[in-house]
Structure 1
Amino acid sequence: MTPIQTPILQQQLQQQYRSSSKRKLDDDDENNMLDDDLVYVRMRKQETTKTAVNSWSRGGGGVGSNGGGLLKKKSEIQFFIRMMPKGNSVVIHAYPEDTVKSILERLVELNSIPIFEQRLIFGGKQLQWEQTVAQCGIQKDSHVEHVGRMRSTEHPQAWQVVNDMVTVVYDLCRQVEVDEAAKTVKSLLTNYISLALTPKPKLDADSATSYFGIFMNSSAISVLVTLYISPFKGNKDTADCCIRHFLNCCRTSLSKIFHTQVARVALEFCKLLRRGAGTHDPLYLFCRSSLGDFLEAAEVSLASSEDQNFKGLVLVQDLFPFVRELADSLLMNLDSSNDSPSLACPLLTNIGDFTAFLVPVRTGIEQHQALRGHVPYHKLDRNGLVMEEIEYLHLLYNQLLCKIDTCLHKMEKRFVDKEMVHEENYFYPACSLYLSLLKELHKISKLYDGAPEKLRSVLMRQKTVMCLMVVKYAKRADEHQWILEHKNVTTFEARRHLAMMIFPEVKEDYEELHEMLIDRSQLLTESFEYIARADPESLRAGLFMEFKNEEATGPGVLREWFLLVCQAIFNQANALFVACPNDRTRFLPNSASKVHPLHLEYFRFCGRVIALALMHKVQVGIVFDRTFFLQLAGNPITLEDIRDADPHLYKSCKQILDMDSGFIDSDALGLTFVREVEELGHRKAVELCSGGKNIVVNSKNRAKYVDLLIKDRFVKSISEQVSHFSQGFADILSCSKLQQFFFRGLEPEDLDYMLRGSEDAISVEDWKAHTEYNGYKETDIQISWFWEIVGRMTAEEKKVLLFFWTSVKYLPVEGFCGLGSRLHIYKSHEPCNRLPSSHTCFHRLCFPVYSSMPVMEARLKVITQEHIGSSFGTW
């Protein structure tokens, strides 16, 4: 790189020696000093050239070449002093015989720092008071470093370290040779960050602002960028590795309390690199990405350019250039990402940065909208966000939504043409990009009137491809739960896939699994001890199950345990749950469960067991009543929701609501706001509201009466049981806070399918189509006999045979293809009088070569009648 290739920054580096005393710095200039001047930081307005010249002329020298009308003497030497702590540079004129102390005395009038707290550094050495300018070797246009208030400043060591670093970088910019330059600068930057990690009496946002204010005010950022664009050999590489090192260390070492301030540092690096190196420069892209990380990691405070108290905050307006850059890239390349999905990989990085920058921007817009009702509109334009930027984001939303609509339409054609069936990995980057962009559009849509409807329209139009992408390409780390807010544009398969990703993934390493050894005769009690008393973290890895005195282990035994323990949990003899009158496989908590002294602990245990069954994808054959499901989702219960749970109460409430007003106002029913409850064999009256026994039900308050009656019966009476079940369920999720979200993202019927599985009769043809043979051939007579016998079995016998074969009694809603693996029939070499055997973990059924169909049928009849396996609903 030659000097002419970097005209702005290189000219500033060359001109810093000539023009330092000719310009003033007002308050607005100081805020933008790193944009206007990369190396030379000007004096404040109150420290003008004229004042300095008049003050310093008494000491025999001057600050400016023409300030105050003074003439320079031929023997004077002009040199530069970079002042600390502000980082301002001043020009000094002195005689060779002037002492260091005399120069420090002049500086006292400028910065009001006592002379004993000041020192000058030249050539890496501290100058002594008694030395003269000549003795120090200071010549024309030399640079001298000033260190002030080192003992009384808040962070004296930080000032020292950053000053030393800037000195080294200045030398490199002037082509002064420095041994192991990159190592030296990186070491100083590491030391600076380590000082932030030093324990302090009080570490808060103000102290973090003060600490990184040193880095901002010391010209460290500007000199590092100047070094990066320097034409001298090796400087660019040195600056590149040092800047990356600094930002990486800040990201990995510093707590979030510093991230807002580090974001300001990264922002300044981005501003200067964008001007000096361009928007395609690798270091600029790295700094921009780092800035996005810091913005996303910290709750970054925002301010407008008109805010008088924006010190230490990020300006909202400063973020929009990056938003525009990233948005332009997305708009330009989205089409090509569909035609060549591999091109979507760099766009995935861009969408991550795009999201990070929009986090604080959306926050600012939300704050702006919150103020609209309390502050005059013209005030918002001055002190809030710039309206042009708010309108720009709205326009961008519409453009991106239109573009993604087109991309999804093209992707749907690929699904229809079956291209993606054979090239799933090839299309992953593009589909992941589209899902990520839709998530961001979902968040933006909440900021503008009418925007959510536009997004919903696109999702509805592209429902097929959306759901296919979710099922095939949505991963646990992608956080696509937002789609569950649009349940009406999703299928059961998509909702189930997204809900299941809220669970942790079951480990394959047996050493990581939670081990259980259960006695069948003490099934519920011992299962409770293993599950309820366990650390949730150990359960999230998965379960390994054995029955005492039995050799069998593995997934098949675990599936059997889930069926048996759920049979015990929902057995009404244990008083934990009650079945709905019209569906004995549908349950809700028993309001009288407190007869069991540990009933609440058992409800937490039940929540864990159900969550673990879902995590292990075991259909246990039971479902929740709608009223129970709605409470788990945090939703209200209406009259129509209680139809299955209590048909009698539903019918009575309907009659009250439909009854003639005159009849009910005559008090013919004799109802008040009281509910009669039977508890432990005794009946008692419970008031539905304060003074309920004195409030007569009439035509005006009957709706309220019905509502309170339903809430008392299905919410209040079992609130503790539901709460503890919810806690147990949340214990198993990857994030316990998502418990309610899990249920809200599903329809009640979805959970039915996931827990009970298919309600359809077992199809022998489907069963046969998913079975393979080992030792036998499909054309063997024994195989023909087998399927003919199975075809004549009752529905219950088929379930028992399937359970004996696989430990699966309730098929997934997809049927046999949902089992995850095919079934197998093996030829055994045992005598024909032996019964069939099975290896449930591997879905293997083994039987010998029976001599006739009656013999085979008799053997299978024994299995289907005598093998342990009972259905729910027969208790």
Structure 2
Amino acid sequence: MRKDQNALPSSSNSSSSNSPSSTRPLPSWPRSSPAGDTHLQFFVRILSYHSLVVQADSSDTVRSIHEKIESITGISIFEQRLIYRGRQLQLEQTLAECKVQNDASLNLVGRMRSTGYPEAWHLINDVVSMIFRMYKTNPPSNRQNPKTLRTKLTNFVSDSLKDPLRDSVKSREKLSGYLQIFNSSSATGALVMLYMSSCKTNKEEAEEAIKSFITSIKNSWKHFCLDTVLIVLEFCRLLNKTAGIDDPLYCFCRRTLGEMAKEESIGIANKDIEKKKCLIGIHDIFPFVNELASKLSRDLMSSTEPTFFPRLSPKDVTDFSTFIEAMKIQIERRVGFGGPIRVPLTEELPLDYADNVIILHGIFTHLLSKLENVLVKIEEHVEWGQKKKEPDTHLLQWYEYLRVLKELNSISKLYYGCEKVFWETMKRRKDVLCYLVVMCAKRKDDNNWILDCKELTNFEVRRCLAMFILPEVKDEYNDLHEMLIDRAHLLEESYEYIVHADLDSLRAGLFMEFKNEEATGPGVLREWFFLVCQAIFNPQNALFVACPNDRRRFYPNPASKVDPLHLKYFSFSGKVIALALMHKVQVGIVLDRVFFLQLAGQTITLEDIKDADPYLYNSCKQILEMDPTTIDQDALGLTFIDEKEELGARKVIELCPDGKNVIVNSKNRRRYIDSLIQHRFVTSISEQVAHFTEGFADIMSSNEIKRSFFRCLNHEDLDCMLHGSENGISVEDWRAHTDYHGFVKTDLQISWFWEIVGNMTKEQKKILLFFWTSIKYLPVEGFSGLASRLYIYKTSEPIDRLPSSHTCFYRLCFPAYTTINDMQERLRIITQEHVGCSFGTW
């Protein structure tokens, strides 16, 4: 920060200079004059060549001195201000309180005539005079308006903003002028003095006034000016010395300064202005970084008891994060950051930068070590809790550790070798880190740092981070997009509802009902997702092609243009898949690798087409493995073309300029294969992929967010999210996650039920599960991954009635059948495909 006459004084105790730019201590005004000789003689310099000799008692007020000067010079009290040791003397102070010594020299400065803003001096002097009156009146007298001090400070700021052209240069100069007057009037010290008063009323009033004033000047302009920074920094320094780092008002001021530092650093970094100086420099920021790091360290080391976990203050972590981001930006900008910094330093840096850069490296190492110790304790606690089957009660507290880890990861990128150290530490604690992410990470946070070392994560972590990126389904019915679909026209009507819907309503969620059916709610919605995805990916609709070796896998059909609306249907398909993921519905469909990689913005290689076109894959492998001499003899008879049949006609596409005349040989065979793959699986379906991507991104709100979504996942992860478990349905797992109402688990009917289910075919189990829950494909965790447990309800209906279900609540209902054969026959009926998948229950 530059040093000039407006620069903030440091908090040292030096007071040897009378210059306004010298340092000054926090004012300390006693309530009575000091004992001893009270008679003083001092000099008041009016002009550089003329001084007055004034005699007074140390108990006399500054106002009385002003009155004497007025009687001699004719200068009105309102136009005067007295400066002693770089500080303006306030009217209500006594000479003893100002520590005016015998034979001292005071400077008389014209107040009204020396500034363009006389009204500002008038307002701020009223404020300071009020503060001294309040401080001296202890206990305070009855005040008619307890918010007077705050009101006066608010008026001071609002008066500086009366210019109708608030964004004009003149208006900014006026605000700056007002703040300079505030800064040079000792108002900051006076307010802190009042805050430190032993009188509770004074303390509360000062706190309210300071907070209100800082908030108003911070919010006055989009871009901070130097004087705003100086005022907040002065409050921080004074409160740090007097109130301490745990004081609430100090923490408020520190947080405000951190926000200003972060916003200014980001603004300057984005503008990429090399020569522009920051109002808040590293030397201003670093003391707070060091202070907060020390506090976090103490908290992390606060106990070694096995049942106790150190608590990190969320506000301290937030402040640490804010200052770290500002400091990191400034280091990168100041050093030029051509790469990580080596410690010990191998290049010369300005002294303040060099010292702070080295200390920050030490902070990183120290906090990382302490956090690893905490992760070990958490790991032990989680293992103990899992054995005891007791829920974690520390999750809110553990969230702060993730936030600190994020900041340490950010710091590690500044230093050579530190990023490797960070991730090696995390690899040692991989299991507990993954546990914390899944259990504690929040949707609102930037969690991308975890993906910097993606191999460290597991499926649960990647799925969790991906779901954070998807919109969150709203609970309010009025926000949902409503659909009423005719089963006979499922695909066409679904298309109309989705394509023409308001995007915000789609992102809120869906409410589904089939025509002429009473059923509504989540169960019907799950059924609709399953049915509409079966229709979209039905090869007869020519939108997608199924992989020969795995009929669940699909990629866009290059010949889809047989339908004039095919591109719009691809956009519709993208929306439906994104919505299914958002609603956590497993639809039994998966996207082939060649399709996934394009959605993720990655390159397709030969190994990626193995499922999509096994014949082409094997042919290309053979070409690559052939003897070079054989290929160079034109044994293949290939040129750089691709032939395909399209709408009954043979079409030839050149894979490079004049490709039909470029013979494939041993030197260009790799390029030929890459070009062929590029054409078959990228170029030929580029429009289809683009429209699918557009639809998917509409639900995500942007293409950038869509890319982040796929960056979180591996291809196999998306398979698990869309298709669900690859394992057969476990009857033991099913039974373990089922409760009873009206029945008890020892009833004959319950024993019969599970015996019958155990003897069902794989497909019958799926149909029964679908009848019961509208779920045909379980999550990868099995029944434990469902939103709730399942229920079997006993009904009072006649025993010849079929079972019924409430799919929204995972309820299966049936009467107390008298024989196992009766129950088996009723269950056989509902596990027929045409019954179990089109029942219309709710």
Pairwise TM-score range, normalised by the shorter structure: 0.7 to 0.9
Equivalent residues of 1:611, 1:729 under 8 A apart: yes
Which of 745, 752, 755 aligns to 1:788? It is: 755
Q: 1:717 is matched by which residue type in structure 2?
A: S
Alignment of 1:494-513 (within 5 A): 494-513=461-480
1:528 matched to 2:495? The reply is: yes
User: SS where residue 393 of structure 2 aligns?
Assistant: helix
**Aligned-partner Cα distance in 2 for 1:103–1:834:** 98
Which of 91, 100, 119 aligns to 1:160? It is: 119
What corresponds to 1:548 in structure 2?
Answer: 515
Q: 1:270 to 1:71 in 2, by over 3 A?
A: closer
**Aligned-partner Cα distance in 2 for 1:519–1:718:** 32
Equivalent residues of 1:80, 1:142 under 8 A apart: no
Deviation digits for residues 619-671 of structure 1 (CA, Å, limit 9, x no counterpart):
10011111211222222222111111111222222222222222333333343
Equivalent residues of 1:338, 1:411 under 8 A apart: no
Displacement after TM superposition at 1:700 (Å):
2.7
Q: 1:780 is matched by which residue type in structure 2?
A: D
What corresponds to 2:73 in structure 1?
Answer: 98
Cα root mean square deviation, aligned:
4.4
What corresponds to 1:64 in structure 2?
Answer: 45
Bigger shift: residues 340-349 or 471-480: 340-349
Q: 1:565 to 1:27 in 2, by over 3 A?
A: closer
What corresponds to 1:187 in structure 2?
Answer: 151
Deviation digits for residues 152-194 of structure 1 (CA, Å, limit 9, x no counterpart):
x6xx6xx735751344214523668897686334224334555
What corresponds to 2:85 in structure 1?
Answer: none
What corresponds to 1:416 in structure 2?
Answer: 383
1:321 matched to 2:287? The reply is: yes
Displacement after TM superposition at 1:476 (Å):
2.2
1:266 matched to 2:232? The reply is: yes
Deviation digits for residues 595-634 of structure 1 (CA, Å, limit 9, x no counterpart):
3333333223222221221222211001111121122222
Aligned length, in residue pairs: 785
Bigger shift: residues 344-353 or 561-570: 344-353
User: SS where residue 31 of structure 1 aligns?
Assistant: coil
- State the TM-score, normalized to the length of structure 2: 0.82
Gaps of at least 5 residues in structure 1 are: 1-25, 46-61, 83-89, 108-120, 125-139
What corresponds to 1:227 in structure 2?
Answer: 191
What corresponds to 2:485 in structure 1?
Answer: 518
Equivalent residues of 1:225, 1:272 under 8 A apart: yes
Deviation digits for residues 801-857 of structure 1 (CA, Å, limit 9, x no counterpart):
111111111111111222222222233333333322222112222233434333333
What corresponds to 2:40 in structure 1?
Answer: none
Q: 1:730 is matched by which residue type in structure 2?
A: A
Deviation digits for residues 678-700 of structure 1 (CA, Å, limit 9, x no counterpart):
43333333343445445443333
Equivalent residues of 2:11, 2:237 under 8 A apart: yes
Which of 725, 728, 737 aligns to 2:695? It is: 728
**Aligned-partner Cα distance in 1 for 2:388–2:463:** 21
Q: 2:289 is matched by which residue type in structure 1?
A: V
Q: 2:353 is matched by which residue type in structure 1?
A: V
**Aligned-partner Cα distance in 2 for 1:404–1:265:** 36
Which of 607, 612, 633 aligns to 1:645? It is: 612
What corresponds to 1:865 in structure 2?
Answer: 832
Equivalent residues of 1:274, 1:284 under 8 A apart: yes
Equivalent residues of 2:768, 2:830 under 8 A apart: yes
Equivalent residues of 2:120, 2:181 under 8 A apart: no
Which of 139, 146, 152 aligns to 2:111? It is: 146
What corresponds to 2:819 in structure 1?
Answer: 852
Displacement after TM superposition at 1:783 (Å):
3.0
Equivalent residues of 2:176, 2:225 under 8 A apart: no
Deviation digits for residues 131-158 of structure 1 (CA, Å, limit 9, x no counterpart):
xxxxxxxxx98988724587xx6xx6xx
Equivalent residues of 1:161, 1:191 under 8 A apart: no
Bigger shift: residues 634-643 or 341-350: 341-350
Displacement after TM superposition at 1:753 (Å):
1.1
Gaps of at least 5 residues in structure 2 are: 22-42, 83-88, 93-104
What corresponds to 1:366 in structure 2?
Answer: 332
What corresponds to 1:21 in structure 2?
Answer: none
Q: 1:834 to 1:149 in 2, by over 3 A?
A: same
What corresponds to 2:249 in structure 1?
Answer: 283
| Higher helix content, 1 or 2 | 1
User: SS where residue 546 of structure 1 aligns?
Assistant: strand
Q: 1:638 to 1:222 in 2, by over 3 A?
A: farther
1:292 matched to 2:258? The reply is: yes
Q: 1:286 is matched by which residue type in structure 2?
A: F
Equivalent residues of 2:771, 2:837 under 8 A apart: no
Q: 1:372 to 1:813 in 2, by over 3 A?
A: closer
Q: 1:241 is matched by which residue type in structure 2?
A: E
User: SS where residue 302 of structure 2 aligns?
Assistant: helix
Which of 325, 335, 355 aligns to 1:388? It is: 355
Q: 1:649 is matched by which residue type in structure 2?
A: L
Equivalent residues of 1:338, 1:430 under 8 A apart: no
Displacement after TM superposition at 1:224 (Å):
2.6
Q: 1:670 to 1:275 in 2, by over 3 A?
A: same
User: SS where residue 418 of structure 1 aligns?
Assistant: helix
**Aligned-partner Cα distance in 1 for 2:730–2:54:** 109
Deviation digits for residues 81-134 of structure 1 (CA, Å, limit 9, x no counterpart):
99xxxxxxx999967353449999999xxxxxxxxxxxxx9989xxxxxxxxxx
Equivalent residues of 1:81, 1:91 under 8 A apart: yes
**Aligned-partner Cα distance in 2 for 1:194–1:690:** 71
User: SS where residue 584 of structure 1 aligns?
Assistant: strand
What corresponds to 2:795 in structure 1?
Answer: 828
Alignment of 1:435-446 (within 5 A): 435-446=402-413
Q: 1:446 is matched by which residue type in structure 2?
A: K
What corresponds to 1:613 in structure 2?
Answer: 580
What corresponds to 1:802 in structure 2?
Answer: 769
What corresponds to 1:355 in structure 2?
Answer: 321
Q: 1:173 is matched by which residue type in structure 2?
A: F
Q: 1:122 to 1:825 in 2, by over 3 A?
A: closer
Query: How much identity, in percent, do the aligned residues show?
Result: 48
Alignment of 1:612-631 (within 5 A): 612-631=579-598
Deviation digits for residues 455-493 of structure 1 (CA, Å, limit 9, x no counterpart):
111111111211222222223234434223332122212
Bigger shift: residues 658-667 or 512-521: 658-667
User: SS where residue 386 of structure 1 aligns?
Assistant: helix
**Aligned-partner Cα distance in 2 for 1:671–1:205:** 72
What corresponds to 1:819 in structure 2?
Answer: 786
**Aligned-partner Cα distance in 2 for 1:384–1:567:** 67
What corresponds to 1:462 in structure 2?
Answer: 429
Displacement after TM superposition at 1:255 (Å):
6.1
Q: 1:712 to 1:309 in 2, by over 3 A?
A: closer
1:472 matched to 2:436? The reply is: no
**Aligned-partner Cα distance in 1 for 2:186–2:77:** 31
Q: 1:454 to 1:309 in 2, by over 3 A?
A: closer
What corresponds to 1:699 in structure 2?
Answer: 666
**Aligned-partner Cα distance in 2 for 1:663–1:329:** 73
Equivalent residues of 1:774, 1:825 under 8 A apart: yes
Q: 1:782 to 1:346 in 2, by over 3 A?
A: closer
What corresponds to 2:35 in structure 1?
Answer: none
Equivalent residues of 1:439, 1:482 under 8 A apart: yes
